[in-house]
Structure 1
Amino acid sequence: MKATVDRIEKNTVLLEVEVDQEQFSQALNDAYRKVVKNVNIPGFRKGKAPKRVIERYFGKEALYNEAVEAIIPDAYMKAVEEQNIFPIDQPQMELVQVEEGKPVIFKATVTVKPEVELGQYTDLELVRPVIEVAEEDLAKELEALQNRYAKLINLDEGQVQDGDTVIMDFVGKADGEEFAGGKAQDYSLQIGSSSFIAGFEEQMVGMSSGETKEINVTFPQDYHAENLAAKDAVFTVTVKTIKRKDIAPLDDEFAKDVSEFDTLEELKEDLLNKLKLNAETQVQQSLEDQAVDKVVANAEAEIPEVMINAQIDDMMSNMEHRLMAQKVSLDDYLKFTNSSREQMRAELRVDAEKAVKTSLVLEAIGKALSVEATEEEVNEAFENLSKQYNQDAEILRKIMKSQGRYEVFVEGIQREKTVKLIIEKSNIVEQAAAE
């Protein structure tokens, strides 16, 4: 087999491949044996008709097509590997020569991974942010724990306050008519959660259990139901039950109830350590973001449309899976947000183009710095994944390989190593306290 490659555009190459006549002759014989098994020719037992008879009945082109379909895919893949090109889309094929006794020649117009012109990626100036853990941060964590483990107590007396949970019946009307979704019984609403239309929850503050009140609101201009957008509405609301959080005091008993610690001081120390670890993670993430943003901005690459569209497809698919986990279809979500797939794709385009360029630039830097994921690093990554999903590491590895995601997983490890190496080769300055 012979192969030559010519670049006809920046991200498009023309691959010309010649398959020797011996291989084509073998493919023709294989095609004949395949065809003759499945046809009935008068005067011959099934599978016994000579090749010349098959050619007379079906034409040589039928065998030629069968032979070409058998040899071209393998020849194309070998040529791609031999010429060291990286296709990112299906090739456009053109048969140049198909004739018995001669080599098969075909051309393939291929969109390939773009070349990246790297700019500066070492000696970058990065700013390490100052993230201090203050006493008020610890107080907020403790308050969050108190709220998380608070018990809801039914109030026999009293009025609705911000933070209360109310059980209520309501009926909404616009232009004097009830509308779809505007009616419910025994509905649970936390006041202050901003779950309802602006102004609704605020007007409930001060109501008593058993009280009925008319609440006036205006639907927002961009409301998902077009027939209600910007319309005034009146909700008749009846409060049936008021529930208020019973907040436990911060003491050793509270620590025992919500954690594995025996004292409040031990719980505080643990929370403080977690806050400090989180602060360190934020600092590292900031450095990584700065490093990636700078090397991508410093690089040049002409991104093919097919790569951008493929990235948008992935982003749409990921969003669809997240919605499915919440038992919401993408079509229902689009209807709810008064949008369309075309609008969503257009909105995702900028992020998709940035994601593709980032991936290409980091891959190019990784090659320039000879970054590779070692076997130990891959094994460690799978062990961490096994703890996360409570599944055997080798089983996860086999699943990824069967789904064709193993290489992507390894590339992710290499990408992380590349970013860390960029940071190591950068000049890091401490952020001024005032900043």
Structure 2
Amino acid sequence: MKISVRNLEPTKVRLTVTVDPAEFDPYLDAARKEIGKQVNIPGFRKGHVPGKIIDQRIGFGAVAGEAVNNAVPELYSKAAEEKELRPMDQPKLDIKEMPESAKDDTKLKFTAEVEVRPKFDLPELEGMSIEVAKPAVTDEDVEKRLENLRQRFGTLVGVDRPAAKGDFANIDLDAQIDGESVDSQEGVSYELGSGTMLDGMDEALDGLSAGEETTFESTLEGGEHAGEKAQIKVKVNSVKSEELPELNDDFAQDASEFDTLDELKADIRKQCERDAEGRQANDARDAFIAKLQESVEIPVPKGIKANLVSERIKQMTPDPESATADQKKEAEESAEKELRDQITLDALAEKMDVKVSQNDVMQFLSSIAQQYGMDPNRFISSIVQNGQIGSAVQEVGRSKGLLAGMRAVSFVDPEGNALDLSQFLGEEEEAQESVEAASAAAAVADQIASDGKTDAE
């Protein structure tokens, strides 16, 4: 197999692959056997039809087409591996030449254009020190969390006055476009000032009393008319004010296992400190990735970036065509950072010689399933069936590489004191039998398939 590589962009290449007949012949033979199992030819049993007869009766073109469909993806993967390329997307394949008959000595030739991970050298980790800010917990943090707890024990009491910020109004809504009702809701409870409903709702309700109504214009955010302007008619049925319990020892006993308010506050401060340590660990992660990228130029694949930007914009607005310049800029910056971080972590995983085990993949997918309240087996099966197992393996590799890299460097606070992040980074993993990412994916798929057969039996 002859392979040539042409760089089209910093992150895009074109492979030209010419396949020797001896390497393509097995695919032709396999195609003949497969076709022979599916056709009825007088005088021959299915699956026992000679290849020459298949060529004569079915046509060499059909045989070659089947062979090419099977051969090209496999040969492309071999070519990419041989040239040490790291594809980041599916290739665009184009057949240039192929034999037209069994006696034709024309070689199979195809090209593959694909966006690849750029090649760059990460800095050495040995001796690297990264500064991370101290986790700060203020009295204000404690009071804010205590106030949130207090609100959970609040009660709503009806008031005979106009609604104001912080009140809860029971309202009826009717959205109209060109005088026609397109959506309506009754008995909705809404907290003034929360900004959780339509734009203009807070201003419209402010100052209204029970029994009063008003109309304002807003843009609908859901349903078949999402993104359209509508006249919103809103009526106030009742106004309620939230009454909060007094902060004292009685409240502490009702809201917690503590006897006094001071004990409750002390526990809340400990919670804040634990959360602050978690934020510090996240800051350490971000600082570590930024340090790796500090002196390295990492171009991102244009095609993948464009698709990611498009997805981001769709998440921001129901009408991507009307996206603002600021939204487009935010989407582009977000997509570029995500891709650059992924590329960095993939390179780090290679540098740290990370191996991904079957158990790693299973635990990763199971944890995601649990987060979404899904059955782990069903979730994993769908991942396999949709061909997404490779992405899962890649994510596991990135995570393991990140942890291994962070364990290899030191973190200090602004005063130069060493930080202990071991509770977030874990200890060095014990030696265990592991397999490369592709093998791990296959093992998971085989296990799920085997479980499915057992269940069926």
TM-score by length of 2: 0.67
1:165 aligns with 2:171: no
Match of 1:324 in 2: none
Please point out which of 396, 399, 402 is paired with 1:413.
399
- Stretch of structure 1 that moved more, 343-352 or 75-84: 343-352
Name the SS of the counterpart of 1:248 in structure 2. coil
Asked whether the equivalents of residues 132 and 283 of structure 2 are also in contact (C-alpha less than 8 Å), the reply is yes
Change (3 A) 1:260 1:397: farther
Question: Secondary structure of the equivalent of 1:334?
Answer: coil
2:151 corresponds to which residue? 147
Change in 2 beyond 3 A, CA 1:94/1:355: same
- Compute the displacement of 1:180 (Å): 4.3
Work out the CA distance in 1 between the residues paired with 2:290 and 2:280.
Answer: 15
Alignment of 1:222-233 (within 5 A): 227=229
Q: Secondary structure at the match of 1:111?
A: strand
Q: CA deviation at 1:278?
A: 1.5
Q: Which amino acid aligns with 1:193?
A: S
Tell me what 1:326 maps to. Answer: none
Shift of 1:274: 0.9
1: distance between equivalents of 2:262 and 2:124? Answer: 46
Q: CA deviation at 1:272?
A: 0.7
Q: Is the 8 A contact 2:4 2:16 kept in 1?
A: yes
Whole-Å Cα distance in 1 between the matches of residues 80 and 167 of structure 2?
Answer: 66
The change in CA–CA distance for 1:365 and 1:95 in structure 2 (over 3 A counts) is: same
Q: Is 2:121–2:296's contact at 8 Å kept on the other side of the alignment?
A: yes
Question: Contact conserved, 1:124 with 1:291, CA < 8 A, in 2?
Answer: no
Alpha-carbon spacing, 1:417–1:234, altered in 2? closer, same or farther (3 Å): closer
Distance 1:184 1:389 in 2: 29
Q: 1:166 to 1:15 in 2, by over 3 A?
A: same
Match runs of 1:121-200 below 5 Å? 126-155=130-159, 157-169=160-172, 180=181, 185-195=186-196
> Does the aligned pair in 2 maintain the 1:378–1:413 contact within 8 Å?
no
Q: Distance in 1 between matches of 2:199 and 2:77?
A: 60
Q: Which moved more, 1:46-55 or 1:59-68?
A: 46-55
1:353 aligns with 2:317: no
**Does the 8 Å CA contact 2:16/2:112 hold for their aligned counterparts?**
yes
Percent sequence identity over aligned pairs: 21
Matched residue count: 401
Letter in 1 for 2:86: F
Deviates more, 1:371-380 or 1:86-95: 371-380
1:255–1:379 CA distance, 2 compared to 1 (3 A): farther
Distance 1:203 1:28 in 2: 73
- SS of 1:4's partner is strand
Distance 1:355 1:257, change over 3 A: same
Partner of 1:327: none
User: Alpha carbons of 1:113 and 1:150: their partners in 2 closer, same or farther (altered >3 Å)?
Assistant: same
8 Å CA contact 2:249–2:260 kept in 1: the answer is yes
2:79 maps to 1:75: no
CA contact (8 A) 2:6 2:14 kept: yes
**Alpha carbons 1:132, 1:279 under 8 Å: kept:** yes
Q: Deviations over 1:253-286 (max 9, x none)?
A: 3233333444433322221111111222223323
Q: Secondary structure at the match of 1:253?
A: helix
- Residues 284, 411 of structure 2: 8 Å contact kept: no
Measured on the aligned residues, the alpha-carbon RMSD in Å equals 4.8
The 2-side partners of 1:313 and 1:358 are apart by 19
Paired AA for residue 334 in structure 1: P
The letter for the 2-side match of 1:414 is K
Contact conserved, 2:168 with 2:189, CA < 8 A, in 1?
yes
SS in 1 for 2:318: helix
Amino acid at match of 1:61: G
Going from structure 1 to structure 2, the CA distance change for 1:264 and 1:372 (only over 3 Å counts) comes to farther
1:18 aligns with 2:25: no
Residue by residue over 1:190-214, the C-alpha shift from the partner in whole angstroms, topping out at 9 and shown as x without a partner, is 223245677764575565545x366
**Highest relative contact order (Cα 8 Å, sep 6+), 1 or 2?**
1
- C-alpha contact 1:27 1:70 (8 A) present in aligned 2: yes
Task: Output the CA distance in 1 between the equivalents of 2:218 and 2:371.
Answer: 43
Q: Relative to structure 1, is the Cα distance of residues 339 and 59 closer, same or farther in structure 2, using a 3 angstrom cutoff?
A: same
Question: Aligned letter for 2:318?
Answer: L
**C-alpha distance in 1, partners of 2:52/2:366?**
61
Query: Is the Cα contact below 8 Å between 1:97 and 1:103 reproduced in 2?
Result: yes
Report the equivalent of 1:296. 293
Pairing partner for 2:318 from 334, 338, 341: 334
Residue 429 (structure 1) aligns with: 414
2:2 is the alignment partner of 1:6: no
SS of the equivalent of 1:167 reads strand
Distance 2:368 2:37 in 1: 50
- Assess if the C-alpha contact under 8 Å between 1:125 and 1:428 holds in 2: no
For structure 1, which segment, 105-114 or 195-204, has the greater mean C-alpha deviation from structure 2 after superposition?
195-204
Matches within 5 A, 1:86-105: 86-87=86-87, 88-96=89-97, 98=99, 100=102, 104-105=107-108
Contact 1:163 1:244 in 2 (8 A): yes
Give the 5 Å matches for 1:245-324. Answer: 245-309=242-306, 311-312=308-309, 319=315
Equivalent-residue separation in structure 2 for 1:171 and 1:392 (angstroms): 39
Change (3 A) 1:264 1:376: farther
Instruction: Measure, in 2, the Cα distance between the counterparts of 1:170 and 1:31.
Output: 65
Residue 407 of structure 1: how far off its partner (Å):
0.8
Retained in 2: the 8 A contact 1:165–1:191? yes
